[in-house]
Chain A
Amino acid sequence: MLTFPIKSQIATLSRAVNGSTNTKYLISSLPLQFARGKRTKRTVTVSAGTQRIITQLSVISARKKVPRVLKLSNEDLIRHDTVQRAWTLFQREKRQQQDEQLSKQYDSIINALEDLKAVAPELYAVANKKEKGKRFPLEARIPVDYPPNKIWYYDVAKDESK
Chain B
Amino acid sequence: MYQPLKRCLATVASPSAEGSAVNAIKAALLLTRQPIVTPDLTELEKAYFNYQEELERRLMWTFPHYYYFKKGSLSERRFIKAQKGPVSNQPNILFEKGEPDVVHNRERRLKQEVRIPKEEYEESSMSDISRPVVPNSRITDADRANDITSLERALPRTLHLLVNENNKGWKLPSFALAQGTTLHRAAESGLRELGGDDIHTWTVARSPAAVLKYEHGKLVAPDANSDKLEREFIIKSHILAGAFKPQNLEYAWLTKEEVEERVSKDYFEATEFLFSRV
B209 touches A156 (CB 8 A): no
- Tell me, in angstroms, the Cα distance from A134 to B10 when the chains sit together: 31
B207 touches A147 (CB 8 A): no
Q: A69-80 CB contact bits vs B (8 Å, 1 = yes)?
A: 010000000000
Q: What's the tally of chain A residues with a CB closer than 8 Å to chain B?
A: 59
Within 8 Å of chain B (Cβ to Cβ): is A4?
no
**Which of A131, A143, A149 is within 8 Å of B36, CB to CB?**
A143
A146 touches B210 (CB 8 A): no
Within 8 Å of chain A (Cβ to Cβ): is B115?
no
Within 8 Å of chain B (Cβ to Cβ): is A27?
no
Shortest distance from the beta carbon of A143 to any chain B beta carbon, whole Å? 5
The A-B contact count (CB < 8 A) is: 196
B241 touches A139 (CB 8 A): yes
Residues of A within 8 A of B (CB): 55-56, 58-59, 62, 64-68, 70, 83, 86-87, 90, 97, 101, 104-105, 108-121, 123, 126-129, 131, 137, 139-141, 143-149, 151-156, 159, 161-162
- Tell me, in angstroms, the Cα distance from A65 to B63 when the chains sit together: 8
B200 touches A145 (CB 8 A): no
- Tell me, in angstroms, the Cα distance from A105 to B231 when the chains sit together: 18
Residues of B within 8 A of A (CB): 2, 5-6, 9-10, 12-13, 18, 21-22, 25, 34-39, 44-45, 48, 51, 55, 58-62, 64, 66-67, 101, 103-104, 106, 108-112, 135-138, 140, 151-152, 155-156, 182-185, 188-189, 197-203, 205-211, 222-223, 231, 233-234, 238, 240-243, 273-274, 277
From B151, which residue of chain A is reached at the shortest CB distance? A152
- Tell me, in angstroms, the Cα distance from A117 to B241 when the chains sit together: 34
A108 touches B199 (CB 8 A): no
From B211, which residue of chain A is reached at the shortest CB distance? A112
Shortest distance from the beta carbon of B41 to any chain A beta carbon, whole Å? 11
Shortest distance from the beta carbon of B60 to any chain A beta carbon, whole Å? 7
Shortest distance from the beta carbon of A59 to any chain B beta carbon, whole Å? 5
Tell me which residues across on chain B come within 8 A of A162, comparing CB atoms. 185, 188-189
A159 touches B197 (CB 8 A): yes
Tell me which residues across on chain A come within 8 A of B111, comparing CB atoms. 67
B211 touches A111 (CB 8 A): yes
- Tell me, in angstroms, the Cα distance from A158 to B242 when the chains sit together: 10
Shortest distance from the beta carbon of A21 to any chain B beta carbon, whole Å? 40
- A146-B37 contact, Cβ under 8 Å, with A120-B22, A123-B182: yes
Shortest distance from the beta carbon of B223 to any chain A beta carbon, whole Å? 7
B189 touches A108 (CB 8 A): no
- Tell me, in angstroms, the Cα distance from A156 to B209 when the chains sit together: 27
Shortest distance from the beta carbon of A33 to any chain B beta carbon, whole Å? 22
Tell me which residues across on chain A come within 8 A of B9, comparing CB atoms. 114-115, 117-118
**Which of A55, A121, A148 is within 8 Å of B13, CB to CB?**
A121
Closest 7 CB pairs of A and B: A146-B135, A104-B273, A156-B242, A118-B9, A65-B61, A112-B211, A139-B240
A120 touches B207 (CB 8 A): no
7 contacts between A and B (CB under 8 A): A118-B12, A127-B182, A137-B240, A140-B240, A143-B156, A152-B151, A153-B241
Tell me which residues across on chain A come within 8 A of B2, comparing CB atoms. 110, 114
From A139, which residue of chain B is reached at the shortest CB distance? B240
